[in-house]
Structure 1
Amino acid sequence: MVPTFAPTADSVGSLYRSHHGWLHNWLWRKVGCRDGAADIAHDTFMRVLDAGALETLREPRAYLSTIANGLLVNHWRRLTLERAYLEALAVQEAVLEPSPEERALVIEALMQVDAMLASLAPKVREAFLLSQIDGWTYAAIAAHLQVSERMVKKYMAQAMLQCLLISNGDA
């Protein structure tokens, strides 16, 4: 039987003491690494602190696992991006190899772009990628998406606004 959580003056501390071990083990089974599980468990409790909604919490393990699952998705997405970046670097000449600091900055930028793309509506994202990555014209994108060329321009404006927000640090 899962113990229930009764909020006290030290709500987060009580929640932590009651459920940290369970959360860490749950994450360890998913991640396969104790250190990675500890990092994600820590981030989970930091999110709980930021949320500040412990007074109404009735199912602490469901709440913690929902937060941790979102962090796991971000973790795996970051690993996928990092692997793709490192594979791309592997085919480059050694002279062009960036420093560890440059790699970290590039991976962080890739994470921001990935988050921006994930926040876009599917057609906006597809129009943006077809234009910027594949070099398609707006007319070709419009035909492919079965929308007007004017709508493609609106899609691109939405995507460019998100890019601008990222470059300004507002996203």
Structure 2
Amino acid sequence: MSDDPNLPHAAAVGDDDRPSAIADLLAGAVWFVVAIAIAIAAWRMDRLEHLQVSIYSAPGLVPGILGLSIAFMALLLMSRAIRGGAFRQLGLPRLRLADHWRLGLTLVLCLVFSVGLIGRGLPFWLAAAMFVSTFIFVFQFEDRRDDGTLLRGGAIAIANGLISGLAIHYLFQDLFLVRLP
């Protein structure tokens, strides 16, 4: 490795690089709420009893297990934060938007997908393909532009999006029997 301090990989990993205990506590709480919402939504899904399908084929089984697993891991994260002194810290951590632009952009793209594309007349596979393609292209844009492979990157993003959209549609619609919008 290089000793150049301007390179990102040259920074030493120390205590300052770890998230604060209060950040872990807040993240754990958010993940716990999301996980419980997933588990409740999975429980409320159609169990397809009228089709006499096996309990192992019910559409809500895997999301329910994942929701409960995420809830368990969120509880572990929160307990680690409490042991690390989360309640002893008085203030919330300071976050700079410039450091977390990818998170904000991800949120915007996910909201556009869920609110703007789903249920608006587009087939689900096409909406999913557009989302995946856009996501890949946007997050690889800087690297592809610097390397001069922007056109190739766009083609790869579109191919990945189409494959993902069709695979997601087939997996959920035909294998898990989940009605997609």
Instruction: Please say whether Structure 1 and Structure 2 have the same fold, judged by a TM-score greater than 0.5.
Output: no
Name which structure has the greater RCO, CA cutoff 8 Å, separation 6+: 2
**TM-score, normalised by the number of residues in structure 2:** 0.29
Q: More helix per residue: 1 or 2?
A: 1
**TM-score, normalised by the number of residues in structure 1:** 0.30
